[in-house]
A and B are shown apart, each in its own frame.
Chain A
Amino acid sequence: GAGVSQTPSNKVTEKGKYVELRCDPISGHTALYWYRQSLGQGPEFLIYFQGTGAADDSGLPNDRFFAVRPEGSVSTLKIQRTERGDSAVYLCASSLNRGQRSDTQYFGPGTRLTVL
């Protein structure tokens, strides 16, 4: 079946601009996660949705970052007033979230954001 998809695959923007990154999870997965992976590092957690609500947004670095999931499926990560330090690969993952800690997170290919 179809995996997690993310669009665009690459995004180049200028400092100060606004960007939106989209994630389409696996059908039926109620949990959705956003991570950020800087060059040479492991992914870092940003935010987690259970259904339509953000269950944990403790990883968002500041108030320039915001994410929504209005219908409990597709999610959009929004970054305002982008800075060069925001350049990274943004990864989305989804899981069935049956309440089990062994639940597997399935990752998308990521969006590479470059802020000039």
Chain B
Amino acid sequence: AQSVTQLGSHVSVSEGALVLLRCNYSSSVPPYLFWYVQYPNQGLQLLLKYTSAATLVKGINGFEAEFKKSETSFHLTKPSAHMSDAAEYFCAVRHNAGNMLTFGGGTRLMVKP
């Protein structure tokens, strides 16, 4: 069965600093991986997705993620944090035998001025 683990339920960075949110997956088949962002009182918005076409995936709002099979990781990064990036971020894996997503527990990103 596929699963994802997000290390660090809370991450705090200063404005302008590098953002690194960690996601490790478990899958017996090549995974399809997604990062979603959730702003307060809003639904989830897709940031980017890995579909095996390229290991470095660029998403919206300057975010990108790199798929590393050897490390079973799909960490999310952004070179320079903005105050508007403060939100909850979820990593998810698409099931092979079904269409549902399995989500990690989420990481709350806080950006300090």
Q: Which residues in A have some Cβ–Cβ distance to B below 8 Å?
A: 4, 31, 33, 35, 40-45, 48, 50, 55-56, 59, 91, 93, 95, 97, 101-110
How far is B45's CA from A107's CA once the two chains are assembled, in angstroms?
Answer: 7
> Is A56's CB under 8 angstroms from B100's CB?
yes
How far is B34's CA from A26's CA once the two chains are assembled, in angstroms?
Answer: 20
Partner of B32, one of A45, A91, A102: A102
> Is A43's CB under 8 angstroms from B44's CB?
yes
> Is A102's CB under 8 angstroms from B44's CB?
no
A41 to B, closest residue via Cβ: B105
Asked whether any CB of chain A lies closer than 8 Å to the CB of B22, the reply is no
Number of A-B contacts (CB under 8 A): 65
A45 to B, closest residue via Cβ: B100
Q: A48-B99, A101-B32, A102-B32 are in contact. Are A41 and B46 (CB under 8 A)?
A: no
> Is B90's CB under 8 angstroms from A43's CB?
yes
> Is B43's CB under 8 angstroms from A59's CB?
no
Partner of B43, one of A48, A91, A97: A91
Partner of B100, one of A4, A48, A108: A48
Give me 28 A-to-B residue pairs in the complex whose CB atoms sit less than 8 angstroms apart, sorted by A's number.
A4-B43, A40-B9, A40-B106, A41-B106, A42-B92, A42-B103, A43-B44, A43-B90, A43-B101, A44-B103, A48-B98, A48-B99, A59-B100, A91-B43, A91-B44, A93-B44, A97-B99, A101-B32, A101-B94, A101-B96, A102-B32, A102-B49, A102-B94, A104-B34, A104-B46, A106-B46, A107-B43, A107-B45
